[in-house]
Structure formats: C-alpha cells, structure tokens
Amino acid sequence: MTRTNEHGQPVGDALAWSPAPRLTPLVLEGRWVTLEPLAPAHAGDLGRTVCGPGTEGLWTYLFDDPQTDAAAYVAARLANPGLASVVVRPRGGPASGIASWLREDRANGVVEVGGIILGPQLQRTTAATEAMWLMAAHAFGRGYRRYEWKCDALNAPSRAAAARLGFAYEGTFRQATVYKGRNRDTAWFSVTDAEWAALAPAYAAWLDPANFEDQVAGTGQRTALSALTARALTNAGTAIPHDGTRARLA
C-alpha cells in the first residue's frame, strides 16, 4: 500500500537509514573462485591472461584501451581512488580477470559493479558467476540498498549476463558517453536489497555442486541460473523489467 503524507500525496516508504560503509578490496573465497585485492604482484598473471597480443577483443567495451603493459595498467588502476578492485582467480589457477566496485554513493547505499575484464579461460564459467555472486553478496551484506550494472548498449554478452544474474533492466541512456572516438548508449540494470533477498537462495541452489554433472569442475549445469533467478523473483512477487534478453537465455 502506498503511503501518503498529510496532504494526501503519495510518498516513499519511511527508512531508518544511515550511510553504508566504504567497500574496500578484500579476500572472498568461493568454491570455484577466489577474489583478492589487486596488487602489483598480479601483473605477471594478468599479462598472460588479459593483456598483450590476442586480448584486444576483451577491451572493446571498456573505457580503457587494450593494454600491453600489465604492470603499468595495474599501477594505474590501483591509483584510481574511485575503484575498489579485486582480481578473479579460478581455484588453483592464475589471476585471470579484474572487477571493481565503483561509483559508490554511500549516502544512498548505491554501488556499481564494473570495470570487469575476464580472460578467455574465465568467460562463461561457474567461477566467473561465483565471482559476481561473491561481490554482490558482500555489498548487500555491508548494507547497500542498490547494486548497479551498466554497459554499452551494444555489448550483447554483458546485457545477457545482467539478465541471467537477475538484474532488472531500467532503460538505455542514449548518447550518454563519448569514448574511444565513438558514441555510447548506456544500458542500465540494477538489483535492490529486497530483490537480493529472493535472488540469494537462487544463487545458492545454482552453485550447489549437486547442480553440476561434474561436481569438482562445476561444469554441466542441470538447472540454468536464469531459470532460478526468474523463478525466485516471480515467486517473491517482484516485477523485473527486462530488455528481451532473458527470454533468449538457455
């Protein structure tokens, strides 16, 4: 039921709210992946997995140009005060990607996950999905109310990932940015804390080893995450607008 004020006008829900704490890089352990604070020591691994010849296609939709000097790139990223960056390390493997919490609006409990670059060995893996789960769970566990995902509207894999993960499509900001000498329309997605309460059990069910034919490697999913997140949000009575991507997911 919508609240009204003394003038009979609709107003938002009352909140007993205090600013969320700053998110800082830390170690987050999963079953298939470990996240750890980005450090200069990771440059060697990242130089082989996301930088250098053959990786140019990984950078198309990032604001950064393709990188040939991993050490310089790590140093620049660490020097950016707006990024809280972690490396993504598949269990038993090298550092194979980077992701960040960014655009923290602590006063309103809003943070974005972005600056994501994953090497080929991480893409479309259980480890990559678990990394996104760990980052979101940490942010909501620290009291954030809204978790954002933004991407170039032409970045079909990123839009599909957002839908699969249960993010709500909120619209496309046309001509939002100029980067790399070209226009960018930006697609916006989000998850609220109420939606996360429904999504968290869906993630847990998907990440359960019993959901995979190979329970050690985490391959051969029995039930798709997109089906679990859609069902969880429907059962919770949460209307999730989307851009049509969800219907195309396996």
DSSP letters along 26-56, please?
Answer: --EE-SSEEEEE--GGGHHHHHHHTSSTT-G
Does 5 fall in a domain? no
Does 222 fall in a domain? yes
Amino acid at 68: T
What local confidence, expressed as pLDDT, does residue 127 receive? 97
Does 12 fall in a domain? no
What local confidence, expressed as pLDDT, does residue 35 receive? 98
Q: Considering the entire predicted model, what is its pTM?
A: 0.92
Does 186 fall in a domain? yes
Diameter of the chain by CA atoms? 65
Angle (CA) 227 229 230, round 5°: 65
What is the domain count for the chain? 1
Does 9 fall in a domain? no
Domain membership of residue 44 as a residue range: 21-243
Query: Left (φ > 0), alpha (ψ -120 to 50) or beta: where does 16 sit?
Result: beta
Does 155 fall in a domain? yes
Residue 2's SS3 state is coil
Does 15 fall in a domain? no
What local confidence, expressed as pLDDT, does residue 96 receive? 97
Per-residue pLDDT tens for 134-159? 999 999 999 999 999 999 999 999 99
118, 72 Cβ separation under 8 angstroms: no
Mean pLDDT of 49-73: 96
Does 249 fall in a domain? no
Confidence of residue 250 (pLDDT cuts 50, 70, 90): very low
Q: H helices within 179-247, ranges in order?
A: 193-207, 225-235
Angle (CA) 32 36 42, round 5°: 105
CATH of the domain at 45: 3.40.630.30
Angle (CA) 168 171 176, round 5°: 130
Per-residue pLDDT tens for 210-227? 999 999 999 999 999 999
